[in-house]
Amino acid sequence: MEAFKIMVIEDDPVLRGFVIAELAKWELAAVAPDPEADLMARFVEERPQLLILDVGLPRLDGFEWCARIREVSRVPILFLSARSHPADMVRALATGGDDWLSKPFDGEVLLAKVRALLRRCYSWAPEEAPLMERAGLVLDRERGMASRDGRQVALTKNETSLLKRLIERDGRVVSRNELMDALWSEDAFVDDNTLTVNMTRLKKALSEIGAEDLIVTVRGSGYRLA
């Protein structure tokens, strides 16, 4: 696996340790400078491939640091914050951030967002990476599990395939034909009714973890994720 260095700038030492431990699960090296240090100097010195940046920092807030870093680097930046107001999220993106994660958060969601940024910016795709994330919903393809806000539900192979295809399209409409292709196998006949049955079962499974409204039916077209 290609080596990536991730800089974690987080004011809370407990949360900082948690983030570093989660990254270590995927052999992602983390450096975590003192939030009161000269963060720009450390950033230039370490040259990380991804920055996890807290908003509430002691000297300057995360928005200010993001703007300064954007003057010298296009490194992907994932904001962490206890704030959840849309205005804060908009400001994070406007200053150059790439994604946002509200506290408290699940470790699997953090890892899914980190991997998504690495894939997008560096075409990183570890063979064993089974996790995908969309709107706080995490799909573990290897285990056939979906989780959200600490709750989990087991999925069948077909349900996993459907949810995977929807997450891959990132909110865009996936046609019924494309979804039927996702279910196709040499020993299984898939028709329109088969798709409807499996999609109904997937929606029912997601309802068990409070994600029943995540899949949107687009009449005459197919389905998408909200």
Residue 132, H or E segment: strand 131-134
Tell me the angle at which helices 107-122 and 13-24 cross, rounded to the nearest 10 degrees: 60
* pLDDT tens by residue, 64-106: 999 999 988 889 999 999 887 889 889 999 999 999 998 888 8
Q: Which one has a higher pLDDT value, 190 or 117?
A: 117
Q: pLDDT for 199-216, tens place per residue?
A: 999 999 999 999 888 899
Residue 12: name the closest of 91, 86, 105, 99 by CA. Answer: 105
Instruction: Quote the pLDDT of residue 45.
Output: 87
Would you state the pLDDT for residue 185? 57
Architecture category of domain 131-225 in CATH: Orthogonal Bundle (1.10)
Amino acid code (one letter) for 37: A
Average pLDDT, the chain: 85
Query: Using CA atoms, how far apart are residues 93 and 181, in angstroms rounded to an integer?
Result: 36
pLDDT in tens, 158-181: 999 899 889 888 788 888 888 887
> Hey, where are the domains in the chain?
5-122, 131-225
User: Which amino acid, one-letter code, is at 29?
Assistant: A
Q: Check if CATH label 3.40.50.2300 holds for domain 5-122.
A: yes
Could you tell me the pTM of the whole model? Answer: 0.57
The predicted structure's pLDDT at residue 186: 39
Cα(109)–Cα(112) distance, integer angstroms: 5
Comparison of pLDDT for 4 and 224, the residue scoring more: 224
Order of strands across the sheet with 29-31? Answer: 29-31, 5-9, 50-54, 77-81, 99-102
